[in-house]
Structure 1
Amino acid sequence: MEPIKTELGFTSMLAVPSNGRRGGLAMLWKTDMKIDTQTYSPHHIDVQVLIPSTQPWRLTGLYGYSEEQLKPETWRLMKHLYNRSTLPWLCVGDYNEILVSEEKNGRHPKPLPPMLAFRNTLLACGLIDLGYHGYRYTWRNGREGEDFIEERLDRVCASLDWSELYPTAKVHHLTVSYSDHDPILITTSPQNAQHNRRRQKIHRFEEKWVAHPECEKVIRDSWTQTQPLGPMNCLFEKIKACRAHLVAWSITAFGNTRTRLIEKQQVLEELVAQGYESNRERINILRREINELIHHEEVYWRQRSRSIWLPAGDKNTRFFHQRASQRKKKNTIEGLHDKDGV
């Protein structure tokens, strides 16, 4: 979890270890808020959130039991947590249950008793479902044909006093290519516009080019076409021409990875909004393309950070970006010291 914490830009973390490849919880936060941990288990993390100039409130990350016979344990846990505090309460996570039959698509309808047990638990705990923006279902089983199922298992619930504390709060169902669960984003205030400074682009040999089947041909063709006079001039011109050809080829072969990621992500969200079941083949193809672009981004930032100790599959793009930025800043400072004779 430490590399993930660094990648996401958080400074503190509470993690509950997984049991092999199953389970595991983590809560991460930044230094501008204070978190007072109350209780945790393999199925929850409960904390008090202390933000300057704001009333304290409590946040619970919940992972409900998936086994049907153990789901009453989830409701007992929620009621126990409710009785521990009277602070405004936000409870978010994978409840592993639905509230109404419309929150399930595929196979047999959900029996009424489990849904009633969930509704009664929310009522007993004074929690209200905050709704959502985006595609209705947050989980799917990945199977084909008649075995396909999707449900809204993940949700955000809050007490009335928490909703009054954050009246503009919104819940967004996001779409990703690498998980059977969709992430949930909670916004409590309008996002400030971010202005990116333009900077000069330096063209370097990209590690990701090597994996492309056309790369070797581009280098060979460029190297054989350039025939200037003189051995050193010949080498210099060959390198210069090869670099220019590779950069031009890269624009065609790869394009702007970040722009393509955004565009494909938008298309993915549109297809999911139309219905996952009817667009399954196109969605699966698009998810593979997005994962490939994400891999290109990882390799791009890994090359700049020189952090070769992390595997490319860990999706640590932001971590590599931060390491590259820190190295650039360090080199700038060292250059100033050398200039000043320090």
Structure 2
Amino acid sequence: MVNKHKTDMVAISEPLVNSNKIEGYKRFLGFNHCISNINGKIWCFWRDGCDVSVIHNHVQQMTLKVQKNHNCQELFVTAVYAKCTASERMDLWSSLENLNRIINQPWCIGGDFNVILHPEEKIGGLPHRNAESYDFFECMDSCGMMDIGYIGSNYTWCNNWTPSLRIWKRLDRVFVNDQWAQKYNSNTVKHLPRVGSDHRPLLFKNFREIVTSDWRLHIQGNPMWKLQQKLKRLGKKLSKWSREGICDVHENTEMWEDRMQFLEDKDMELRTDDSREDLNKGHAEYIYWLNKQDSILKQKSQVRWFEEEQH
């Protein structure tokens, strides 16, 4: 999944393995750098080309300062893995509000908040009481954060119990402040299919980053030459982005990703043993095609490395 979506940075909540294994996972996922928060519940990985430093390491969140190159504006990214009870989450909200007092640049907060904001973000189980969301709402409001929405299923977590006891919630989301929204004005969050987890992965992208990262590169020469070279580089980058992000040739993977969306929505609506069986079969098929795609991408990477070595 990391190879398919060409992500520059990944945050994992509750990896379920000891944090001393993070270096091995860094190599396996193809990243250059990694860090764990103080209790090992949040792992972050990123590639070369970014200067990253930790400004707050907390048991429920980790906040990073990120700079793509020395000429770019700093931005801040907070990965969240919240506690399960409202009383335990109070420490998280307090830590974010304290950060808000010192951060006056683009800031993004995302992850598993373990609480919903609105009653319609849950199906099954006991009815949601608005009072349960009050502290969450107050924190995001005081930090000047806005929920940027999502593409895909309405829910990001399922308890995977029998149909009569099954619960779905939107526990995972991404917020940005005004400075982030102004700098990256085409933010999208996609809810990907669940694979081996009770949570959906969130894919967070913005289009402007692709343009600005190439446009700000320093090129020597007269103004016309600089413009031509930047347009040439940008054209290549956008063509690559289009092939890899929009016009992906791996049709079976794309088909089963869409199919998983349908099967999960069907299971949420019907809540029967048959709908759960169809969903489980779909998961197996989707994982099969993901693994096939991952193998192809790794082979392509090895070929590119070999060609570069020959030059």
Identity level (%): 23
User: Please, what TM-score do these two structures have when normalized by structure 1?
Assistant: 0.65
Q: Are the counterparts in 2 of residues 133 and 173 from structure 1 also a CA contact under 8 Å?
A: yes
What is the total number of aligned residue pairs between the two structures? 251
In structure 1, distance between residues paired with 2:112 and 2:195: 18
TM superposition outliers: structure 1 runs of 4+ over 4 Å:
292-298, 320-330
Aligned twin of 1:10: 31
1:285: which partner in 2? 281
Specify every segment of 5 or more residues in structure 2 that has no aligned partner in the other structure, as ranges: 1-21, 211-237, 244-249
Deviations 1:43-92 (A, max 9, x none): 21111111234321211111111134312222222212222322221111
Stretches of structure 1 lacking an aligned partner (at least 5 in a row): 197-257, 302-316, 337-342
**Corresponding residue for 2:257?**
265
C-alpha distance 36-286 of structure 1, shift in aligned 2 (>3 A): same
Indicate the residue corresponding to 1:202 in structure 2.
Answer: none
Check whether the contact 2:253–2:293 (CA below 8 A) recurs between aligned residues: no
Match of 2:185 among 150, 160, 167: 167
Indicate the residue corresponding to 2:45 in structure 1. 28
Deviation (angstroms), 1:94: 0.6
SS at match of 1:276: helix
1:123-202 alignment, distance < 5 Å: 123-189=141-207, 192-194=238-240
Residues 292 and 77 of structure 1: CA distance in aligned 2, closer, same or farther (over 3 Å): same
Change (3 A) 1:322 1:41: farther
Partner in structure 1 of residue 16 of structure 2: none
Based on CA coordinates, which of the two structures has the bigger radius of gyration? Answer: 1
For residues 34-183 of structure 1, the aligned pairs below 5 Å read 34-52=51-69, 53-183=71-201
Output the CA distance in 2 between the equivalents of 1:106 and 1:7: 37
Give the Cα–Cα distance (whole angstroms) in 2 for the partners of residues 178 and 136 of structure 1.
Answer: 19
**Contact 1:38 / 1:46 at 8 angstroms: preserved in 2?**
yes
Residue identity matched to 2:46? W
Taking the aligned partners of 1:321 and 1:67, their CA distance within structure 2 comes to: 45
The whole-number CA distance in structure 2 between the counterparts of 1:322 and 1:4 is 21
Amino acid at match of 1:145: P
Residues 171 and 296 of structure 1: is their aligned pair in 2 closer, same or farther, counting only changes over 3 Å?
Answer: closer
Q: Which residue of 2 aligns with 1:206?
A: none
TM-score, normalised to structure 2, is 0.71
SS at match of 2:264: helix
Shift of 1:285: 1.5
Q: Is the 8 A contact 2:52 2:67 kept in 1?
A: yes
1:108 to partner: Cα distance: 1.0
* 8 A Cα contact 1:148 1:277, kept in partner: no
Could you give the per-residue CA deviations for residues 227-260 of structure 1, whole angstroms, max 9, x where no partner exists? xxxxxxxxxxxxxxxxxxxxxxxxxxxxxxx654
> What SS is found at the alignment partner of 1:76?
helix
Structure 1 residues 57 and 69, CA gap change in structure 2 (3 angstroms):
same
CA distance in 1, matches of 2:260, 2:114: 25
Deviations 1:103-143, CA, capped at 9 Å, x for gaps: 11111111221212211111111111111111110111001
The alignment partner of 2:268 has SS state of: coil
SS at 2:120's partner residue?
A: helix
Classify the secondary structure of the residue corresponding to 1:4: helix
Q: How far apart in 1 are the matches of 2:101 and 2:252?
A: 49
1:9-49 deviations in Å (ceiling 9; x for gaps):
3211112366xxxx621112222221122121232111111
Structure 2 distance, partners of 1:135, 1:287, is 15
- Mapped to 1, the partners of 2:139 and 2:28 lie a distance apart of 36
2:109–2:175 CA contact under 8 A, matched in 1: yes
C-alpha RMSD of the superposition: 2.9
Structure 1: how far apart are the matches of 2:93 and 2:292?
43
Letter in 2 for 1:98: I
Whole-Å separation in 1 of the counterparts to 2:192 and 2:182: 25
Q: What amino acid does structure 1 have at the position aligned with 2:280?
A: N
